[in-house]
Amino acid sequence: MSSSRTHAERAELTGHAHIPLEGERQTGRTDPDEDIAVTLLLRRRRELPDIHEHLGHLLPEEKKQKHMTQLGLSERHGATSESFAAVERFAKEHKLKIVAHTNSHRAITLNGSSATIEKAFGVRLVEMEQNHRRYRVPEGRLSVPRELSETVQAVVGLSTRPFAKRVAVHHKGAHLPFWTVQQMAEAYGFAPQRSAKSRRIALIELGGGYHEEDLRQYFTSAGVPMPKLRCVSVDGAQNLPAPKSHIKLLLDAVEGKCEFSEIPQDALSSAQCTIEVTMDIELAGALAPGAEIIVYMAPATEHGILSALHKAIANDHELPDAISISWGEPEIGVSEAIRNSIEETLREAALLGVTVCASSGDEGALNGSSDGTPTVNFPASSPHVLSCGGTSVEKVGTGVREAVWNCSQHGIRGASGGGVSRYFSTPKWQHDHGVPLAPTGMKGRGVPDVAGPADPHRGCAILVGGEWCSSAGTSAVAPLWAALVACLNSELGTRCGYITPLLYRFSRTEKSSLREITEGDNGFYQARRGWNACTGLGSPEATHLASALRGKPGKIHSKAS
């Protein structure tokens, strides 16, 4: 094969264009000698089935392997050997080194200098800066040799722009948080003697880490055994918790005792990520005692996120019961190729019987929009996840009274993310639930599906950096629902799996399984009876939800050959 190609011998791969951010500026070209790794995702030898064609009620554990075989998932629909061979020829021609090769996820990772990568994919790599963040992005139309145009689905890793955002809304306060994790569990109907023994919860984490001494002290205080904890490195990321002094600085800033501007940006980011990671572990471990907690530490880039999700579902014999994702990015800022690649992985997880819980965001319906138009977060907008919004607990007694989370803490505004997707159409299980039109005028997927306590004024006690503070944000709701799923799976001996459509069905027939939130707004949408674009179908009534699920026959309706 000739090493020189005419333009006609190459084909553009659509969906990879860089989407500029407000305030973003170019600072120069990427060093031509910089070492860069990119991953090519190859097309499947055959497409994944439509999960709606295979929706049963629950997935009994003993039928999991049979179900996977029926759907062809035992072989994971990997790419063909011819596809990999074509990429290997491409790599050799362009002097790129093959550093990883994973057939189950049709992924092949290539390594080379920036100049070599630019030539191989027909782009320019440039350095950008936005809000003190520095990163690399590709410019131009990404292309590959024509023989690869039907083989390569996406090229991941050219951009290193931080993919996820979280808002610092954690409240320290002069007194202990509103309630303990055990009190919160009781308020939401978790069984007092609950257990998630032999179940697994995967946490997707993007930076920061956890101090083991915090966890030991926390679980001793909560009266819950320290969970079996496994930390998995993704793309070189490690458990790197912020120093305790930085965590205290951040909590003091949230409390209004100092200015955020007084804290170096790197210290601020590391402390916030450490609070998030620690909160996820403590809530998931305390609400689902006995569960193994697997922490996937990944870089906050499109490559890191996709790699973490792939790793989380890579082993058929160690599939998690639930995955908790507390990150998100406004849909309009995610390229089509990356959105489709992540969405396909989420769809695969659903088919495998893994419940994926994703936070809907902490900036209300407008979600940081510069034009005043509502926009939802991805992956919360994926129809294959359980999208988790936030509530504010107003009263606890014989029951819990909640409103939409929308409050301010020392000038930091936080509200439940929610609205309508611009890219995913309305799933059939949301039909007749009053989902409004998306800002584009299309009928879109409504966000969120469910909710839980997110207001820092009414949060649960967590311990991080030796400081007691409050859980906060929809980042706290995703691990709550993941823990509930693990407990339900243990109690019922099933995999709830793709539970989202079931919850919409229950909302018609099993009114007590979810607590409707009818008060408040998220800056654009108003709460109301039934589903709403602030808190979805409502917060959990765990005992009633277990009863509703117990009444469904454990049966898989599959049309797969």
What phi and psi, each to the nearest 5 degrees, are found at residue 236? 85, -5
Tokens of 347: 């769809």
Asked if residue 60 has a cis previous peptide bond (ω within 30° of 0), the answer is no
- How many other C-beta atoms are found inside a 10 Å radius of the C-beta of residue 395? 10
Catalytic residue among 205, 280, 348, 362: 280
Alpha-carbon gap, residue 474 to 150, rounded angstroms = 39
Judge contact between 155 and 16, C-beta under 8 A. Answer: yes
Active-site residue 475, yes or no?
yes
Alpha-carbon gap, residue 310 to 156, rounded angstroms = 13
**All residues at 6 or more sequence positions from 95 whose CB lies less than 8 Å from its CB, including other chains:** 112, 116
Q: According to the 3-state scheme, what is the secondary structure of 21-36?
A: CCCCEEEEECCCCCEE
Closest of 392, 313, 301 to residue 355, by C-alpha: 313
Catalytic residue among 205, 214, 235, 276: 276
**Helix or strand or coil: residue 227?**
coil
- Parallel, antiparallel or unpaired: strands 229-233 and 292-297: parallel
Active-site residue 321, yes or no?
no
Closest of 202, 203, 204, 167 to residue 390, by C-alpha: 167
Active-site residue 214, yes or no?
no
Tokens of 100: 């990883």
Catalytic residue among 475, 490, 507, 513: 475
Alpha-carbon gap, residue 151 to 145, rounded angstroms = 10
The one-character DSSP state at 44 is P
Judge contact between 377 and 447, C-beta under 8 A. Answer: yes
**All residues at 6 or more sequence positions from 176 whose CB lies less than 8 Å from its CB, including other chains:** 461, 468
Alpha-carbon gap, residue 401 to 453, rounded angstroms = 11
Alpha-carbon gap, residue 61 to 55, rounded angstroms = 16
Tokens of 162: 């931080």
Alpha-carbon gap, residue 153 to 169, rounded angstroms = 38
Residues designated as active site: 276, 280, 475
